[in-house]
Structure 1
Amino acid sequence: MKLHHRIDGPSGAPLLVLGPSLGTTLDVWRPHLSRLTQFYRVLRYDLPGHGLSPSPLSGDTPPRSRKTDSFSGAGSSSAGAGSLSVEEIAAAVLELVEDERFAVGGISLGGAVATAIATRVTGRVTGLVLCCTSARFGEPGPWLERAALVRREGVRILAPALAERWFTNGFDGGWVLDMLDQVDPEGYAACCEALAAYDLRDRLPTIKAPTLVIAGSDDPATPLDHALTLAKAIPDATLTVLPDAAHLATVQRPEASAHAILTFLQYGKPAPPPSMETTASVDIPPSTDTTHTGDTACAGDTSSAGDAAPAEEAGDGGDGRWEAGMRTRREVLGDEHVDRAVARTTPFTADFQDMITRYAWDGIWNRPGLDRRTRSCITITALVARGHLEELAMHVRAALRNGLTPDEIKEVLLQTAVYCGVPAANSAFAVAQRVLTEQAPERLDETGTSERADETGIPERVDETGTSERDSG
């Protein structure tokens, strides 16, 4: 089985292999190319029957005639005689890569292919990036039913349902949905059968490569539980949750996902931690000296319109640290909170806002030594210990955005009861409960006086500068 592929990026750079999701082509990664190809040779491939890759039944090599002994026992079973498997796609991808070491990743089915590769050639994979994917995509029945439907009525019949699963309301993803016209029904159906048979849960602990798991906060196809299964079972895994994004979260959040991938690949592997002065290397302006290789690569394919984040109302000082810190601040706290804090900035508080953006959100939160889930646990503990309940409400929300579950937050607070004191933990549980249940925006204090509160239900206290204490983060 031969797969169509492209290679973009500077000759001699490390290799990064990226796979698309079911129903899309290699162009689903185009919004990321301008940043990724600054540092990597990016090999993108089309799935069988997608884009320019032949359907598994139309090529000169039937899918079951190719020997795939190297993937035997990888945790899948046949969905039917002659059907395709994820392991066969992984074997075909490995044929595109020479003997060098490489990083590999993918979206959904492409992520499953990357996982299969990482469970087998463990010594060659330098990093694994799993985007909105799973170790098992549910029961086989629905996938086999979808395969039968597509064989009868074509791939386009799925467009309305896929639009709701791929993107959140209001997002214009028409350019991705148009890729369905480049998908052969037989190829799509064969990939559905591959997903029906796919189950790598037992093999996740064998993965040796540092792993980044990216999830969409509103993904109905592979909900956060799927990402948590991967992050917990893979020994060296980090979870990043992209807010307000569905199954194709990397398409909805190209800037945030590209930044997460580059930061992980550059600093997430075992290496001496970079200094704060070098953590902004992923924000180097686009290179003008990019060489393209591959079967049909061209210079025009490394640009991506609309991929840059809007400029903030502050200078970066030329070192990239403010921009990197603001990006992380928005990813952790959310745009609404940060916009409110920025809007309330005064000449008196501007230097403080600049300091926390650079030194807290870039200098500390962007360090590679701890993932964001762990940093959220530490932050919650510190806030409980010091009694900073206003900041605690904000960081309970941040912890949820960083992938902590309510049960995990509860465990952190139980731990604080032992080491910070029961009264402190009691207050913290009350704050966390209000955040988790989205209590009404206004409540009465013990004296019967109404206190102004935000959406967390925590009263807002305004200091002498007119800045809300919760917005200082």
Structure 2
Amino acid sequence: MTVNLHHEQRGDPAMPPVLLLGSLGSNLHMWDPQIHALSAHAHVIAVDHRGHGGSPAPAGPYTMTDLSGDVLALLDRLGLHSVHVVGLSLGGAIGQWLAAHHPQRVRTLTLICTAAQFAPPQKWIDRAATVRTNGIASIAESVVEHWFTPELAQRDPDLIARHLEMVRGTPDEGYAACCDALAEWDGRGDLARIVAPTLVIAAEQDTRTPPSVHEAIADGIAGAELHVLSPGAHLANVEQAGAVTRLIERHIERRASVPLDAARRAAHDVGMSVRRSVLGDAHVDRAIESTTPFTEPFQDFITRTAWGDVWAREGLDHHTRRLLTLAILTAVGNEHELDMHIRAALRAGVDPQMLVEVFLHAAVYAGVPNSNRAFALGKQALADLADATDGSSRQ
């Protein structure tokens, strides 16, 4: 069951919509520096997560699916099909979930001081127990201590006081139940599913989610851009307000000229062309004919990402990518895909002796049984190809 999230909207609703999702223990006012700047040329929607700020705090535990479902319900109520998502910490986790599970709703993704997994889970379980027993006030100072660098804290005590009140104002159960969500969430396996243009922003002095964590995110999302700011701790959007805002603006503006649907269609068209050139028209036509509403999202995903992105890159030619694919599929023992790529290679005129060398090489490094199976599949593919050729010549 979703909850009706408290939110504020600023700027012209006709402008590109930018959704701001904040940190655990915050409310939407953590985004005040960005709300003011972005609303001059964007429709800004700043949100309080369930259990935070002005949003309801139902009894927990919560899951990342719950928190993300609240956001989707809000977008539906506002009539927003897709938005530019900006998320920090917990908000960044929700942004990753949305981009991986509902890619059509995310135009661009900006991830700030966040992680694909907030390990170890026990830390969050213990923190939830502490807050349920002793109240949020018992950990407020520790939370804010990690939000800002010591130099900023000493220089601006009023800023620290305001954010302490922000944390203390968070309902105990809302905070604890969001800790439960962080404890159970692991989005590392979903990073490769994210196709939205992604900007990743880390802060050098962030001890909660250090730059190394962001490097893993940027490596996992195809084409992601990484920036590390200094000085800055966990609320880098406050300590480095100007730099963060400029990065967000540039990231959105660079994609604003190409509508999301048009960009996806272009990537799909490129991918389909490459896919046909590698696998052949007959195979691709069969795959298209057998597509159902259930399998269509995967067909679209694989065409845009595998074929329209990786196979279309200039770093390796298609012949080299064929051989790499055959070697990798042999190594992991993926017989169905291996058989398909063996037959595609032979139909494309690849010398069978080249396949022999690939499978022999794989035997040394990936094991004889897998290579033995590859030779068997290759032998059968050659026999089938010969039969088909003989049948054609007799007609």
TM-score relative to the length of structure 2: 0.61
1:34 aligned to which of 18, 33, 36: 36
Q: Deviations over 1:265-299 (max 9, x none)?
A: 11157869xxxxxxxxxxxxxxxxxxxxxxxxxxx
**TM superposition outliers: structure 1 runs of 4+ over 4 Å:** 268-272
**Relative to structure 1, is the Cα distance of residues 40 and 269 closer, same or farther in structure 2, using a 3 angstrom cutoff?**
closer
| Counterpart among 167, 178, 183 of residue 165 in structure 2 | 178
TM-superposed deviation, 1:111: 0.7
Q: Which amino acid in 2 is paired with 1:205?
A: A
Is the Cα contact below 8 Å between 1:210 and 1:269 reproduced in 2? no
* 1:158 Cα deviation after fit: 1.1
Distance 1:165 1:99 in 2: 34
Which range is displaced more, 156-165 or 179-188?
A: 156-165
Aligned residues of 2:192 and 2:222 also touching (Cα < 8 A): yes
User: What letter matches 1:224 in structure 2?
Assistant: P
1:91 alignment counterpart: 69
Matched AA of 1:245: G
Deviation for aligned residue 1:238:
0.4
Q: 2:278 maps to which residue?
A: none
1:122 aligns with 2:103: yes
Residue in 1 that maps onto 2:374: none
Residues 141 and 164, structure 2, Cα contact 8 Å, conserved in 1: no
For residues 5-404 of structure 1, the aligned pairs below 5 Å read 5-57=7-59, 83-97=61-75, 98-171=79-152, 172=156, 173-174=159-160, 175-267=162-254
What is the CA–CA distance in structure 2 between the aligned matches of 1:42 and 1:180, rounded to whole Å? Answer: 23
- Whichever residue aligns with residue 130 of structure 1, its letter is L
SS, match of residue 148 in structure 1: helix
Question: Offset at 1:140?
Answer: 1.0
Deviations 1:90-114 (A, max 9, x none): 1110111135221112110011111
- The Cα of 1:164 is off from its aligned counterpart by 2.3
2:86/2:109 contact within 8 Å kept: yes
Q: CA RMSD in A?
A: 1.6
Asked if the contact 1:83–1:194 (Cα under 8 Å) also holds between the matched residues in 2, the reply is yes
Aligned 8 A contact 1:109 1:133 in 2: yes
Q: Distance in 1 between matches of 2:181 and 2:126?
A: 13
Report the Cα distance in structure 2 between the residues aligned to 1:129 and 1:244, rounded to whole angstroms: 19
Provide the C-alpha distance between the structure 1 equivalents of 2:52 and 2:104, rounded to a whole number of angstroms.
30
Residue 209 of structure 2 aligns to a residue whose secondary structure is: coil
Structure of greater Rg: 2
Q: How far apart, in 1, do the equivalents of 2:197 and 2:48 lie?
A: 25
TM-superposed deviation, 1:39: 1.6
Task: Tell whether the 8 Å contact from 1:85 to 1:191 is kept in structure 2 after alignment.
Answer: yes
Report the Cα distance in structure 1 between the residues aligned to 2:15 and 2:165, rounded to whole angstroms.
32
1:207-235 CA-partner distances (Å, limit 9, x unpaired)? 01000101011100001111001100001
Q: State the partner residue of 1:353.
A: none
Distance across 1 between alignment mates of 2:166 and 2:22 = 11
Distance of 2:58 and 2:216 partners within structure 1: 31
Amino acid aligned to 1:86: M
Could you tell me which runs of 5 or more consecutive residues in structure 1 were left unpaired when the two chains were aligned: 58-81, 273-473
* Letter in structure 2 aligned against 1:31: P
Structure 1 counterpart of 2:113, which letter?
Answer: C
CA contact (8 A) 1:209 1:236 kept: no
CA distance in 1, matches of 2:178, 2:115: 15
Tell me, in whole angstroms, the C-alpha distance in 1 between the residues paired with 2:256 and 2:38.
17
Aligned to 1:297: none
Q: How far has the Cα of 1:121 moved from its partner?
A: 1.5
Change (3 A) 1:236 1:56: farther
Distance (Å, rounded) in 2 between the aligned partners of 1:269 and 1:34: 20
Contact 1:108 1:134 in 2 (8 A): yes
CA distance in 2, matches of 1:217, 1:55: 33
TM-score by length of 1: 0.51
**Whole-angstrom distance in 2 between the partners of 1:25 and 1:266:** 26
Aligned pair in 2 of structure 1 residues 177, 147: CA closer, same or farther (>3 Å)? same
Query: Taking every aligned residue pair, what percent have the same amino acid on both sides?
Result: 38
Match of 1:299 in 2: none
Deviation at 1:259, TM superposition (A): 0.5
Q: Do the aligned residues in 2 keep the contact of 1:127 with 1:269 (CA within 8 Å)?
A: no
Consecutive unaligned residues of structure 2, counting only runs of 5 or more, are 260-395
Aligned to 2:246, what secondary structure does the other structure show?
A: helix
Q: CA deviation at 1:123?
A: 2.1
Amino acid at match of 2:241: P
